[in-house]
Every structure is written in C-alpha cells, then in structure tokens.
Amino acid sequence: MAPILNYEQHAQRLLDPELSLQTRLQMVMEVRDSLEIAHTSEYLNFLKCYFRAFSVILTQMTTPQMAENVEHKLRNVVVEILNRLPHSEVLRPFVQDLLKLSLQVLTQDNEDNALISIRIIFDLLRNFRPTVESEVQPFIDFVCAIYQSFPATVKYFFDQPHSTSAVTSSSVASVVSSSSIISGGGAGGEDGNVLLDAAPVTPHVGAGQLNPSTRSFKIVTESPLVVMFLFQLYNKLVQTNIPCLLPLMVSAISITGPENVPPRLKTQFVELKGAQVKTLSFLTYLLRSFADYIRNHEENICKSIVNLLVTCPDSMSIRKELLIALKHVLTTDLKRGLFPLIDTLLEERVLIGTGRVCIETLRPLAYSLLAEIVHYVRNELSLSQLSCIIYLFSRNMHDSSLTVVVHTTCARLMLNLVSFYSFLVE
C-alpha cells in the first residue's frame, strides 16, 4: 500500500459519509500498515488526526456485527490499531476516551473485537492508574453481568439444537442493549440483570458467524485476571464487589456441562472448562487475602474442583492450571472440603486425564498432590481406600518413566502410612 502523505486529510476522508465500506476498510488498513509513526515524534499529531475518526467509526458509522463481513472487518482493524497504540505519556490526554470506547466495544460487540478490547482495557488500567480509576467499576459491573448470565451461556451453546442459520438483527439489537451496564449502577444493582434478559436465545451458529461478547467463554476466561489486578490496585473494590461477584463465580464453576459432547461442540466445551478453571484460579487467589469471604462456599468450591477434574478435557494447559489451583487449596483450611471426595481423587484418570501429553507431563504434580491429600486423611481411610493407595503408589515406584522425586514421594507416603498404622496396632 502507498504511504499516507497527509494524515489530517486522510482522517477527514475516513469520515466521509459517502465513502463505501470497502473503501473505508482499505483506508483503515493503510493506517494500520503505517502505524510505525506512533513510535516517532509524530505520535501526538497522529492521535489528534485519527482518534476522533476511529471513535466515530466505532460508535456512529458502523454497528456491531455477528457475522464475518466487511463492516466487521472494518471495526476489527480499527480496534486492532487502538490496541497497538504505544502507552506513553503522549497517549494520556486520550486515555479516558479510549477506555470508554473500549468498554463500549467490550459490552456491545462480538467476541473477536471484545477480546482485543479487554486487552486494551487491561493495559490502560495498568499504565494509567490514577487517570482511569473512575472507569474501573463499569468494567467490574460487566464482569458481574457475564457471570450472572453464565448458566444461560452454557444453555446457549449446549442445550439448543445446532443451527447454521444467520444471526438475526434482533440478536444484534439485544447485544447492543447491554451497553446500559456501563452507565448503570454498581455491582449487584438492577443493571446486573441486563444480560440475562437482553441476550438472545438464538443457538450457536455455524461457520462465518460470531458470538456476542455477552455469550463468550473466551471473554469469561480473560476477565478474572483483570479483576484480580484491579483488586490488588484498589482494595476498596473488594468490599463492594465481592459479595456480588463471589456467589456468581462459585455458581459458574459448579456447572458440569453436557455429559456427551458432540464433535461439533468440542471447541466450545474446551472453552467452557477453560473459563471455569480460570475462575477457580481467581477464587484461589482470594483465599490468600480474603479467606473470610470464601469460607461459606468451602463445600461447593471443593465439589466443583473434583467435578472439573472429572469433566476436564484432555487439554494439558487447562488441567495443569486446575492442578495448580488444587495445590493452592491444599495450603489453606479449604482443603477440608476435599477429604470426603477422596474416592474420586484416587482414580488416576480423574487426576491426570487420559491424553498422552497430560499423562506424560502432569503425573509428577498430580501424584504429589494426591500424596498430600492422603497424608491429611490417613487416619480416616478405609481398608479398601488404603489398599487402593498402596497399589497405586507402589506401582509408581516401579515405573521407570517417573522421576526420582516422584519415587521418593511415593516411598515416603507409604512409609508414613506403615508407621501410622503400626502405631495404631500397638
């Protein structure tokens, strides 16, 4: 593409109402290809010329699309450009408007654009803390809303007949209506119900169609990290938001999903479990500093951990994060809720799955966690449980594919069991 010679004229032409979508897309792609200008002394001039144009394109000249078309591509390229802007002091005068614009895209647009927007939001919150504090609560309100509608999202993907029909205009309109979250009340207010009522019940559509951000497991997956960061920065947010957010998260991780997943929904099922495990990781983070909030949910969280181990797909990254969350739980009093579930945890396929990569990679971590759990419940084990444990760990000691560290863990556990039961006999 030819270089842009005059940024001001180019930006003005972008806003020409007579311009076709295809031409406007071509011009926006020219800006994207010239984005190295943002790393020079011309960055401020670039922002003055283009920021308003990008804002008008996203808020006035186009609407969120639930299908892959030219208008979606145009919005996607604009959001991509905004994501690539350097977060230097030159950007500071535009930060408030950029954050509001990103929140609008996050709450109204499709999954693809919302994922980029949530990265913009995270980077702005991280780099311009005092400037953006007023926009923090609207983001948390949106997170509360998507967790409130999480059960409906699961039904949206798995309980409806699969359809390849296009998303109707009413679906798009209902997604746009969720923008009231940004201007609405705080966590736990009436606006928390917006997504439940507004989100479409249209079943998941086929190739070429896009999910709304309000019905996206990927958005749920990305959200806990940002909330965790915000809680670290703004301690007062914990008191006002945890009472609303925590029960919604506990409810979200307790959903098992379908028992039999058809091949066409395998990707969505993996995304579901990924979102639940990320949520669980956030809850284990809360255990470190806010254990009092978690205590009432001890039993439900522990049951959900085991259910996630049972239903987790053979994704090494998801199962590893799940085991790490379990490891954190074992360092707290919450571990007591796991003890009645020891029979399920003694099943190897529950701990490490059935996939070759999971088995080869996660056995050391899984067996060390199981050994720790067995140590805590050793005085409550039945004869059949004890037999199962001895068989499992003695077999591992003869498995040459396991490391010396694992062999040592197994030997130490069995010696402790022998010593403990010898003491009881005496």
What single-letter amino acid sits at 254?
S
23: Cα separation from own chain's centroid: 35
Rounded to 5°, angle at Cα 366 from 348 and 265: 65
Give residue 133's pLDDT.
82
Tokens of 381: 């084990």
Q: Say what the pLDDT of residue 179 is.
A: 45
Residue 162 amino acid letter: H
Angstrom CA distances, 379 to 13, 140, 184, 334, stand at 77, 44, 54, 19
Output the pLDDT for position 180: 47
Q: pTM of the full predicted structure?
A: 0.86
* CB contact at 8 A, 165 and 200: no
* pLDDT value at residue 161: 61
* pLDDT at 175 (0 to 100): 45
Q: Where are the alpha helices (DSSP H) in 178-297?
A: 180-183, 194-198, 217-233, 236-253, 266-289, 291-294
Of 159, 162, 102, 163, nearest to 135 by C-alpha is: 102
Per residue in 384-423, pLDDT tens? 998 899 999 999 999 998 889 889 999 999 888 887 666 5
Read off the amino acid at residue 31.
V
- Which residues in the chain show pLDDT less than 50? 163-205
Residue 87, Cα to own-chain centre: how many angstroms? Answer: 24
In the chain, domain spans: 1-131, 133-159+211-339, 347-425
CB-based contacts of 241: which residues, under 8 Å, 6+ apart? Answer: 140, 144, 187
pLDDT at 349: 92
